[in-house]
Amino acid sequence: MIVIDGSYGEGGGQILRTSVALSVITGKPVKIIKIRANRPNPGLRPQHLHGILALKELSNAKVKGAEVGSTALEFIPGKAEPKHVRVPVKTAGSITLALQALLPAMAFTGGSFEITGGTDVPWSPPVDYLKNVTLFALEKMGLKVELELKRRGHYPKGGGLVTGRVEPWEERKPLVALEWGRIERFGGISHATNLPAHVAERQAKAAKERLEDLYSAPAEIETEVSRSLGPGSGIVVWAETDSLRLGGDALGKRGKPAEAVGREAADELIEALTLRKAADKFLGDQLIPFLAFAGGEIGVTEITNHLVTNVWVVEQFLGKTFEVEGEVGEPGVVKVVRGVEI
C-alpha cells in the first residue's frame, strides 16, 4: 500500500484528490495520513469526502476513514467501470474541486456525473474556468468532456448543479505548449444570480474595456442572469491564443462595485499574458495528472506550491515522471521525462 503524507508541501486537499484518483487509475491501494494537517480546520471537509465517495462508487472500492474531520484515509480500489456518478455536496463546497478528483479517473473509464454544491466560490476554480480553459486544454490532449451548468451555487448556500459526460480517453495526445505567439480573441462569461441584470453587464463592460484598451483582439464577454438559492456574481475571462487559453476570474461581494470585479478578472489575465507562457498558474497545476499519461511539456506563468506538490503525489504512484524547470514563485517549464502506460 502506498502511504502519502497529506501534510507534504502545499498540504491541502489537492494531495487527497490526486492520490485517490491515481489509486483508481493504477489499481494501487493508498493510505493518506495527516490529511490537511497544516490547515486551520484539519482533516476531510465535505467537498473532499464527496469526491472520495464518488471515486469509491466508480471503482467499487473499500474505504476506511471516509468521514468529515478524518485525518487518515485508506482507499482500496476494486475494478473501475463506467457509471453515472452522483456527488451531492450539500454545502457550497466546490463542484470543480470534486471534479478535480473525478475527471482523471473517469478519463480511464468513461461515464457521466451529476454534482451539486458551489459553482462559484472562493479558493477554487469557477465552473466557467474549468469548462472554457481547463477542458479546452484537455481536448487538445485527446480527452473529451461535456459539461453543462444547470444552476449556479454561491457561498454560503450552494445549490449549484453541474452535469456532464466523459468519453473514454482512447487516444492520448502529448501536449507541447510552451509559449503563445498571438491572441486570437478574448472570451468570457459574466454572471449575476438573484441580482439585477446590470451587475453582470457592468462587470462585463469593465473587463472588456480593460482588455481592448491593451490588445487589438476583440473581447466577447457573455452576460448571464439566473436564479438559485442565494445571491452572487462573478466573471471569468480568457485569452484564446495560438497555443492554449489563459484565464482570469473574480467574484463579486457585498460592497464591491461590479466594475471593480470586472477589472480584477481582466487584470489577472493581463498579468498572466505578460509572461508569454502558454498556461496560467492554475491551469498548470490542474494538467499535471493528465500530462503524466499523455506526455509533453508546458510553459507555466508560475511554478506554484500546488503544482510542485501535485508532481510529488504523481511520482509516489508512477515513479520519476516530470522535470520541473524553474523556482517556486517564478515562471517555468514542466516536462514529462518518462511516459506511463496504463
pLDDT at 77: 97
Q: Which of 48, 154, 191, 306 is catalytic?
A: 306
Q: How far apart are CA 7 and CA 26, in angstroms?
A: 23
Angle between helices 13-26 and 281-294 (to 10 degrees): 20
Q: How far apart are CA 112 and CA 109, in angstroms?
A: 10
pLDDT at 47: 75
Neighbours of 242 (CB within 10 A): 12
pLDDT at 310: 96
**What are 8-66's pLDDT values in tens digits?**
988 888 999 999 999 999 999 999 999 998 888 899 988 788 889 899 999 999 999 99
**What are 3-20's pLDDT values in tens digits?**
999 999 888 889 999 999
Annotated binding-site residue numbers for ATP:
100, 282-286
pLDDT at 21: 97
**What are 195-222's pLDDT values in tens digits?**
999 999 999 999 999 999 999 999 999 9
pLDDT at 338: 83
- Cβ(136)–Cβ(165) under 8 Å? no
Residue ranges of domains in the chain, CATH in brackets: 2-176+279-336 (3.65.10.20), 180-273 (3.30.360.20)
Of 86, 58, 90, 53, the residue nearest 70 (C-alpha): 53
Please say if 306 is a catalytic residue. Answer: yes
Residues of the chain with pLDDT under 70: 341-342
Q: pTM for the full model? A: 0.96
